[in-house]
Amino acid sequence: MASPNRREFLGLLAGGVTATALPSTSMDGTPAARLERLAGFVSQDDDEAFWRLVKREFPIRPNLLMMNCANLCPSPLPVIDTVTRLTRDVDADASFQNRGKFGELRTLARNGLAQHVGADPGEIAITRNTSEGNNTVVNGLGLGPGDEVVIWDQNHPTNNASWDVRAERLGFTVTKVATPRSPRTSDELVEPFVRALNANTRVLSLTHVSNVSGIQLPVKTLCAEARRRGILAMVDGAQTLGALRLDLHDMGCDFFTSSSHKWFVGPKEAGLLYVRTERIGKLWANNVGVGYAGAVRNGAQKFDNLGQRDDACVAAMGTAAAFHDTIGIDRIEARIRRLATRLIEQLQAHLPDIEFTTPLVPELRAGVVIFSHPRVAGGTLFNRLYEEHDVAGAPRGAGVRLCPHIYHTLDDVDRAARAVADVVAG
């Protein structure tokens, strides 16, 4: 059965909100119709046939294997449809009257996101990306001399250098924790952080899955360790929204940030900031816009009071949540893990001397796979994969990062591994 969010969203899309005399697009079917068609296949037994159907929802250039999820993902047609139709709708009639509907669409998007991440709608701010969410937390806490923030040295600059900049201004200290390069157990990842926590620590700021190593931190355990000591826990989930099942209440973090345009395959320049209810009053807003007094009465909305928004983009966050609901996040997570494991196994089969930055232990990684080979420089491999084999990844130090997603088949992953072997061979 469709969840309330998906049902409500499909109802709105089918009920004319997007259909008000809009010029038709070249896309086939409304977002609602496309999602319903996909839902009809969810129960089918042939798993690979199902994923081929999912792949068809993504209008990626034929033959291109787009494996750069850790940076930017393509969106499926329902999301593109929502963005396109609603953008045209606003451009056809930008009156307050015509744009009145966006209030409801924004509420539905917020509800859909909240349900998707196991939070209350009042705890969700719709931001523009992870960077903005991270900086809202970094800049919004009342820290000063004598206070300490403990971070992971693998955090993204927006959750790493941003703390240094703030510390320089306010006089608190930042301690960077390093974890083992090739961890074998989650205890090896927990222990260095626990050792760093002390009576001065006010914040433990982590990354759920690292974009530079692919390591998945045991964030639930680490948040519990922080909470036991009265320390705030912040989790950057840029690499996990849309890739893993998230239950933020269960995770126990105080703040969680992510982007729509990565694994969530949502609209570009949109994101999510979760602030646990008890912490909303204690976190200062980074930006005060029109209507702030009202926003403050609505929980985390105080953090997305950012002036005129791209309403079509915000509404499409709801479509992206409904898209994930349609497939089922557990099925998506299992698929992403299966594809990452398949990629690792295929690379090992072709290239026995390949080296992995990403841990080989399945529990310590998710969708991000980073590897290198002694016979080829990372930049060369990255470029030749794209230019000669139509495989788009990312350069990562001495190696390359590839992230297969739900728009890849097992054959696609095998092809990517063969392409790597081909480049290494000469």
Q: Can you tell me the distance from the alpha carbon of 52 to that of 410, in angstroms, rounded to the nearest whole number? A: 10
Nearer to ligand PLP, 137 or 376 (CB): 137
**Positions that interact with ligand PLP (CB under 6 A):** 70-71, 129-131, 156, 158, 207, 211, 236, 238-239, 259
Angle at 333 between CA 106 and CA 237, to 5 degrees: 55
Least distance in angstroms from the C-beta of 70 to ligand PLP: 6
Q: Where are the alpha helices (DSSP H) in 328-367?
A: 329-350
Proportion of the chain in helix, strand, coil states, percent, rounded to 5? 45, 15, 40
Mapped onto helix, strand or coil, the DSSP state of residue 373 is strand
Q: Which residue lies nearer to ligand PLP by CB, 236 or 254?
A: 236
Backbone angles phi, psi at 18, to 5 degrees: -95, 0
What's the closest the beta carbon of residue 26 comes to ligand PLP, in angstroms? 29
Place of tokens 């993902």: 73
Amino acid at 202: R
* E runs forming strands in 83-141: 124-127
E-strand spans in 36-191? Answer: 65-66, 124-127, 148-152, 173-177
DSSP-derived secondary structure letter, 141: S
Tell me whether residue 131 or residue 357 sits nearer to ligand PLP (CB atom).
Answer: 131
CA distance 135 to 153: 17
Q: Which residue has the tokens 């709105």?
A: 12
The nearer residue to ligand PLP, 133 or 318, going by C-beta atoms, is 133
Task: In angstroms, give the least distance from the CB of 323 to ligand PLP.
Answer: 19
Rounded distance between C-alpha atoms, residue 165 and residue 104, angstroms: 38
Question: Closer CB to ligand PLP, residue 231 or residue 238?
Answer: 238
Find, among 355, 119, 112, the residue nearest to 237 by Cα.
119
> What are the backbone dihedrals phi and psi of residue 411, each rounded to the nearest 5 degrees, phi first?
-60, -40
Looking at beta carbons only, is 128 or 373 nearer to ligand PLP? 128
Residue (38 or 109) nearer to ligand PLP, CB: 109
